[in-house]
Structure 1
Amino acid sequence: MPKGDIQKLVITEETAKVRPFAVAAVLRNIKFTKDRYDSFIELQEKLHQNICRKRALVAIGTHDLDTLSGPFTYTAKRPSDIKFKPLNKTKEYTACELMNIYKTDNHLKHYLHIIESKPLYPVIYDSNGVVLSMPPIINGNHSKITVNTRNIFIECTGTDFTKAKIVLDIIVTMFSEHCENQFTVEAVEVVSPNGKSSTFPELPYRKEMVRADLINKKVGIRETPANLAKLLTRMCL
C-alpha cells in the first residue's frame, strides 16, 4: 500500500446505536471494461447476500473518488435532516421520503427494516457536504461509478467490525488486479469517535496447512489436491 497523504474517514459518536463500524480503502487508476465493471457490481451483490447477511452486518458503498473531496464523515442524523439525490434518481429526497418510495422497490424494500425503526439514520458526507451513501439502503447519485471511473473510494459500514474488514479485503484483493499498478491498494485513515486512528485495509497474511483427504471428507466431495487448489483460488483463499 503506498504511503504519503491518504484519505481520511471520521466516525462520529452518533453512529454508535445504529451502525457503529466503518472501514475504507481506495483503488487508484483502475481500468474497467464492461465485463470488469459488471463483475465489480456483481461481487458487491454476492457479498451483500452472503457474508454481509443481506446488509444487516455490513453494507458496501463504492464511489467515484474524482467527484468527491475528502476528508469524509460517517455520522447519523434524523431522517428529516438527511436530503440528497439517491442513485439513479434525478431529484433530491429526504431520508423519510426515500424510505416510503423504496417500500415498493422489489430490490431495496428488503433492507428497510434494518434502520427504519431507528431515531437516527447513518450517512456519509464528503468535506463539501455531498452525500456518498445512506447505508445500508442506497448510495448517492453524485459519486456513482461507471465504466469510465478511474479512482474508487470503497467504504464498508456495519454492526460487525470483523466482517466489515473481511469484506473490504475481499473487494480490494480481487479488483486491485485491474489497477494500473497491479495489486496496489491505497490505505484510508479511519478515526473512531474516541479519537483513535487506524488504517485500512489491514490485509493480514496467514498460512494454513490442510490435507486434501480431510477437505474431501468434511465437505463430502472427491477432488484431487490440484482441483482443490483451483477451487480455493476461486473463493479468493
Structure 2
Amino acid sequence: MCYDAHPSPTDPDTLSISIPVTRADVLHQADIMEDAAVAYGFNALPRRFPRTTAFTAAPLPLNKLADILRLEAAMAGWAEVMPLILCSHDENYAWLNHPSPPPDAKPVRLQNPKTAEYQIVRTSLIPGLLKTIRENKRHAVPMKIFEVSDVVFQDLGRERRARNERHFAACWYGKTSGFEQVHGLLDRVVGMLRGTFVAGEKGGLGYWIEEVEDPTYLPGHSAAIYIRQTPSSPAKRIGTFGILHPTVLKKFELPFPGSVLEMDIEVFL
C-alpha cells in the first residue's frame, strides 16, 4: 500500500503512518483501515451475527423534519424542485446584489472548476429557485416552488473545514409580487411546527418579523425572521423574505415580479 509505518515513540500500541504523495486518495484514518482490510482479505474475516438487540430503523430527526416541511408545503399547493448544489460565485452573490460573501459565512470553493457555472457550493437556496423559474418561464404563471435542502459554509474548526445547514426556501413568481403568499407560507410551516407568532422581541416565546434592508429585496418590502424558544436564550435571526429587487430579476432574465423566502430549519429540532 506504499505506507511507511513504525511504532509511535510515545505509545507502543499506536502506529505512526507516513502517507506518500502517490496516495492522494488517502484522506482520513478510515482510508488506512480500508487498505488494511483489503490486505488482510475480506473473506478471511470471521462471519458472525452482531451482538446487538433487534431494532427498528428510524430517520434522522433533521431528515424527518425536512419531510414534514415538504409535505406541508406540497399540501399548500407549492411544487418542490431540486436544483444542483453547485453554482457560480456571481449567481450566489453578485446576482443577488451582494458584492462579496460576509466574513462569517464564506463559501466552499472548488479548486479546479470545469465551468464558470460550478465554482462554489451554494450558501443560499434562492439562486437555484430563480434559475429553475428562468428555465421554465414559458409556462403559465403564477409559479409556486420550494426546496428543502442543504447549504454549505466554511468552518475551519471542523474536521472537514465545512458545515452543512438545512434550509427551507420558496419562491412565488407571477404578474403580482406575491409577498402575501410567501408570508402566508411562512406562517403555515412555522405554525405547523408549533411556533407561535408574537408581537416583537418583547412579546414572549415564539417568532416575529422585523423590517430589514437587504439589497436582494425591494427597499421597504423585506423582513427578517427572528425566533426565541426559551426564556434564557437570545433572539436568533433564522431567515428573510421579501419582494425581489428588479436588478435581481434582470440578472436571472425574469420579466415578472416575484417574492422569495429562505430560513434555517435546524433551530426547530
Normalising by the residue count of structure 2, what TM-score does the alignment of the two structures yield?
0.28
Q: Greater Rg, structure 1 or structure 2?
A: 2
Q: Return the structure number with greater helix share.
A: 1
